[in-house]
Structure 1
Amino acid sequence: KKNIILFNVLREKLLYSATHSLMHFITASVGLPNFSEFLGVLAVDGVNVVYCDSSSKTFETRQDWMETAFKNNTQLETYKNFCFKNQPVIFRSMIRSLRELFNQSGAHFLQRTGGCEWDENTGEVTGVIQYGYDGEGFIEFDSKTLTWTTLKPEAVILQQAWNKEALITATAAIVTAICPQRLKLYVSTGKSFLQRKVLPSVSLLQKSPSSPISCHATGFYPHRAMMFWRKDGEEVHEGVDHGEILPNNDETSQMSVDLNVSSVTPEDWSRYECVFQLSGVEDSIVTKLNKRVPITVAVLVLVLILIAVIGFAAYKKKKGERFK
């Protein structure tokens, strides 16, 4: 019952919140051949708007409306300096220090996720900064307590240095004042793009007759969405496995939710339905479960293989006749 309550609270937050985010994602490395020393991405509400690569001197604005947002201010130059000048130097120095701290050599990489979230309804702002070293969390900034906290014992040296008052004041100003100010500008400028609604295609899949039924939705925007199974109009929790919301390469998202049907009789299949709800859209997409609806993936693969074999055999035969 506790899980059901938490699930419903999460659904309300996902579907009806008006939270926006401005985040930057940085990956810096040393000793990795054919990999840039410094890569940066700036994202608004999960949409990539700026990309930079210091090694190839590449700087790209990925959305037309960001060009408008950069007019009449110095933010574009700030981001370019951020990518090509000061940050690569800082990250190289940090990696060098971390290699010495861990007594390491060879290839290593340092990542940073930073930015802010702003709730348009409440005005609440939450700052986010986290560093990861070689794929593991290392140290993060708590914007509520205005302190750095360690995620690894070895990060205590950085924690002591960064928790000094002057640095804390500067860090807090970035994530709780400068960042939300820019975020509001970008959200206002890109409103028509960021607030658009794109409904997904929903399909039911099953790998084998004994496998769970997977309800799969892809191509939806924004990423704030919920999907669940119902039986006779009532939400089902037992035997249901919720997958994560994953990004597609076109700024849309996909997700799946599986239903274990091992104990469901064929006669009862029609009592189940998959429900998809998108934030900002009143109507749900309802897909009824039917014995004839699920596509058995394994069978589909066999059919494709069979088609390929037949095609190859025909090609070989035709080729053989050509040289007779």
Structure 2
Amino acid sequence: MKEFILLLLFCHVASPVTHSLKYFFTGSSGVSNFPQFVGVALVDEVQIGYYDSNTKRVEPKQDWMNKVIADDPEHLQWNTERCMHSQLVHKAEFETLKQRFNQTGGVHTFQRMIGCEWDDETGDYVNGHHQYGYNGEDWLVLDLKTQTWIASTPQAVITKQKWDNDKADLAFLQYYLTKECIDLLKKYVDYGKSTLQRTVLPSVSLLQKTHSSPVSCHATGFYPDRVMLFWRKDGEELQDHMDQREILPNHDGTFQMSVQLDVSSVKAEDWGKYECVFQLSGVKDKLVTKLDPAVIKTNRGINTALVIRVLAGPLLLLAICIAGVFIWRRNNNGFKPANTSETSSTECVPPNTSQ
């Protein structure tokens, strides 16, 4: 549960050919039944390792990580020692922050994210990230291009000035994010390619709370998270009347996403013109789901009220036609007898050591 919450906080959409390695560290105070320090390592948004201040050890979270450890027995111990060191430094930074904000009791969180991205087609370094957050707000962000820190609050200015003057640490971070992190990412991608480079198509459902609510096209169980999900009308992608939600992780390592369509102004006879389209990166075929009231799920099952509303126009026309046929047959040939027969149809990296 702890890992799942952290994943929800930091999930994002990756680019089509980019692999990423990220570490998230969270220190907390005033939170009962939760470790004071937690570290999570992710490759391509898939958790590969976990550490907390209660267990004081790194735990691999993917089967292929056990192969990494088997081939390099010191890998796990090395990561554990680095995490324990990060925990101590993180605690000191946390206490300094609370003093800066003149805070003592209550619930507080201090978070750090560091990582890199690599293009597996060109083999190039793409980007590096190193940033801090306090109580859910940005605090300091490293600008690699200018080799300076960006302060997001007045309380961060003192630390920014100190870290900007630490040229040795900035040089190390530049090296780590552009070289060491990338080498490690390549290693992990190679070991985990059967998992990280697989493609899994989702199940797609149409959901609606009430007959007047937007219709949500919900795709779940797909991998990787490089996807497109949108509504289209008459083959053209819609730009208006849509609400696209962020990609979220499932407990099994796959992902889910939804996009809503406002149908309040859609005429009954136009429903058949709308389609929900799911496109997974690396897969040629699209999954297309027509806007059909007969398959929309609600809390009560199939939305029968919606079916009746959408079919009201066609049914009325059909009823008129049937009545006309009956009148014509009665006037010309009389009624025929009724047919009564029945039919059936990880790891951690050295942190900054001073505020």
Normalised to the residue count of structure 2, the TM-score between the two structures is 0.77
Deviation at 1:223, TM superposition (A): 0.8
| Residue number among 175, 186, 208 corresponding to 2:210 in the alignment | 208
Which residue in the other structure is 2:118 paired with?
Answer: 118
Which residue in the other structure is 1:90 paired with?
Answer: 89
Structure 2 residue matching 1:291: 3-state secondary structure: coil
Task: Please give the residue correspondences for 1:182-261 in structure 2 after superposition, counting only pairs within 5 Å.
Answer: 182-261=184-263
Letter of the 1:25 counterpart:
F
Larger radius of gyration: 2
**Using the alignment, how far apart are the partners of 2:189 and 2:142 within structure 1?**
24
Cα deviations by residue, 1:295-317 (Å, 9 ceiling, x for unpaired): 233x3499xxxxxxxxxxxxxxx
Which residue in the other structure is 2:61 paired with?
Answer: 62
Q: How high is the sequence identity, in percent, across the aligned residues?
A: 49
The CA RMSD over aligned residues, in Å, is: 2.0
**Structure 1: which 5+ residue stretches go unaligned?**
1-13, 303-324
The answer to whether the 8 Å contact 1:243/1:257 transfers is: yes
**Using the alignment, how far apart are the partners of 1:284 and 1:301 within structure 2?**
25
Bigger relative contact order (CA 8 A; separation at least 6): 2
| Residue number among 283, 286, 290 corresponding to 1:284 in the alignment | 286
**Using the alignment, how far apart are the partners of 1:93 and 1:280 within structure 2?**
46
**Using the alignment, how far apart are the partners of 2:15 and 2:110 within structure 1?**
35
The answer to whether the 8 Å contact 2:56/2:80 transfers is: no
* Residues 57/94 of structure 1: CA separation in 2 closer, same or farther (3 Å cut): same
Deviation at 1:184, TM superposition (A): 0.5
Task: Please give the residue correspondences for 1:116-195 in structure 2 after superposition, counting only pairs within 5 Å.
Answer: 116-122=116-122, 123-163=124-164, 164-195=166-197
The answer to whether the 8 Å contact 2:57/2:80 transfers is: no
**Using the alignment, how far apart are the partners of 2:272 and 2:302 within structure 1?**
26
**Using the alignment, how far apart are the partners of 1:15 and 1:127 within structure 2?**
14
The answer to whether the 8 Å contact 1:15/1:280 transfers is: no
Normalised to the residue count of structure 1, the TM-score between the two structures is 0.84
Deviation at 1:121, TM superposition (A): 2.5
Deviation at 1:90, TM superposition (A): 0.2
**Using the alignment, how far apart are the partners of 1:15 and 1:270 within structure 2?**
33
Deviation at 1:75, TM superposition (A): 3.3
Q: Which runs of 4+ in 1 moved over 4 A?
A: none
**Structure 2: which 5+ residue stretches go unaligned?**
1-12, 304-355
Deviation at 1:268, TM superposition (A): 0.9
**Using the alignment, how far apart are the partners of 2:127 and 2:177 within structure 1?**
8
Deviation at 1:16, TM superposition (A): 7.1
Structure 2 residue matching 1:128: 3-state secondary structure: strand
**Using the alignment, how far apart are the partners of 1:173 and 1:73 within structure 2?**
25
